[in-house]
Structures are given as C-alpha cells and as structure tokens.
Amino acid sequence: MSLATVDKNGLPEVRAVLFKGLVRGGLSFYTNFESPKAQALIENPRASVLFFWASLAQQIRVTGVVQKLTRAESEAYFSSLQSQEIPNFEFLEQRVKLFEEKFAGQNIPCPPNWGGFHLIPNRFEFWFGREGRLHERFVLQRESPQSEWVRSLLSP
C-alpha cells in the first residue's frame, strides 16, 4: 500500500509499505521507529493509505489516525533494521552472516527501535473506473471509532 504522511514542517511524503493485515481494527505495517516515516507519524499521527490496482481500474483510499502497535504485537512480527544508510550490499551480507553466527540456534530479539503502526480508519473511498469517466466513487466515513459509518456517493 502507499502511505502518505506529513512531517513537522508540513512536508508531505508518500512511500510504499507492506500491508501486514488488520490489527485491532487498523491497517498494520512495520518500520524502524527512527525512520523519517515513523518520525512523521509520531509528530503528526494522521495518515492516508492507497491500494491501487491499475489493471482493474480500482482503488481504495483510507484515512485515519495512526497508533503504535503494542510491543508484543511488534515482537510477534519482527524483521530487521531498515532505512539506515549502508556503504554497499556486501556490508548487508556481512551483517546477516554476523547475526546468523551470533544468534545461531536462538531467536533474534526485536530491537527497541523497531515495531509496528496501525491506521485506525475514519474514511474509506472506493473508486471503480468506468468508460467515459463515469467512475463510481463510494465513501464510508465516521466521526470517531465509536461512531456509525455513513455511506455516500461522490460525483466522478
């Protein structure tokens, strides 16, 4: 999914992240908490994601509030260090070998600066492309997580 954030200076950024499923009603993904995207989400915990299927002429936009997942949820889905500059690919290969040797036969602990977020939706927009620009656009929106969803149709 594409994730759009806004940093503390109001600069928007969008990047692709791996959607990992629904966690407690939110769309989840994982990252290094020291990455620019994590810092933007910590400073401004609102975001938007986009799922786009060009071949189907369909997309789903979702906006909402972002929260960190619990430490237990993050540890349950742990990968590796991300978003830090490295000198070359061989450096990465050497680090993998080092950690394989260091943690041979045991689980690698999840670093404290790595974990997940989930976007708690307050708005979905479903877009279905049609001939002649007669696209179908449906919105589901709610004021808060406790509110009822309201459905509306938008003009293309």
Give me the amino acid identity at 11.
L
Return the bridge partners of 2, or none.
Answer: 16, 50
pLDDT given for residue 2 in this prediction: 98
For the chain, give the mean pLDDT. Answer: 92
pTM: 0.80
Instruction: Give the tens place of pLDDT for each residue, 76-110.
Output: 877 555 566 889 999 989 988 988 888 898 888 88
The CATH architecture assigned to 2-154 reads: Roll (2.30)
16 vs 36: CA distance, rounded Å: 13
Half-sphere exposure of 64 (CA within 13 A, CB side): 24
Q: Give the active site residues.
A: 133
pLDDT given for residue 99 in this prediction: 81
Instruction: Give the tens place of pLDDT for each residue, 8-56.
Output: 999 999 999 999 999 999 999 999 999 999 999 999 999 999 999 999 9
Three-class secondary structure of residue 98 per DSSP: helix
Closest CA to 107 of 69, 72, 73, 78: 78
pLDDT given for residue 29 in this prediction: 96
For β-strands 58-68 and 46-53, DSSP reports them as antiparallel
